Amino acid sequence: MEEKIIGTIKIKPRFYVDKECNWFQDGKPITHKGIYVYNYRNLCKDNDLFYIREGNSKAYVYFDDKPFMIKRVNCLKDKIMILLNDFTEEKLDIESLYFSKNIPYCLVKDKKFEAKFSRAALFQLSEEINEKDGKFTLLNNLINIKN
């Protein structure tokens, strides 16, 4: 992984995460579920820099897209639950939902990180989106679809 210059800081990320949220460490894929979950559990963000906290040190992470991916959507009567790629589940923050180039994103983990919807999750979510007079709603909340 090449060095990245962010502001006045030059770093060489130890971890790389592709747009499908596949992790790589020092160029090698991370396939062990425990390490994958550990990395997400210890993921931190400082402005535009992502890193894994390892004791007193930081191992920087470069993401091709967003840090998290929504794998599944479970639409209930009054809320929507989302399953993230780190195997955790939380309530969708509808207020944070936005679309960019027809792909939905939202904030997760107490609004600390962004998440991209997988195709399967987008399909599940799209079944709950309603359109009336050119405006889109989800559980009676207006949502912002921009391209």
The two structure tokens encoding residue 24? 């790589």
Domain containing residue 80: 68-145
Q: Is the separation of the CB atoms in 22 and 16 below 8 Å? A: no
pLDDT tens digits, one per residue of 96-147: 988 888 889 999 999 999 999 999 999 998 888 888 787 777 776 666 665 4
Q: Domains in the chain: how many in total?
A: 2
DSSP state of 96: G
pLDDT tens, residue by residue, 76-102: 888 899 999 999 999 999 889 888 888
| Domain shared by 42 and 72, yes or no | no
Check whether residue 32 and residue 80 sit in a common domain. Answer: no
Question: Cα–Cα distance between 138 and 126 in angstroms, integer?
Answer: 9
Looking at 14, 42, 63, which one is the last position of a domain? Answer: 63
Count of other CB atoms within 10 angstroms of residue 28: 8
pTM of the predicted structure, to 2 decimals: 0.83
- Amino acid identity, position 26: D
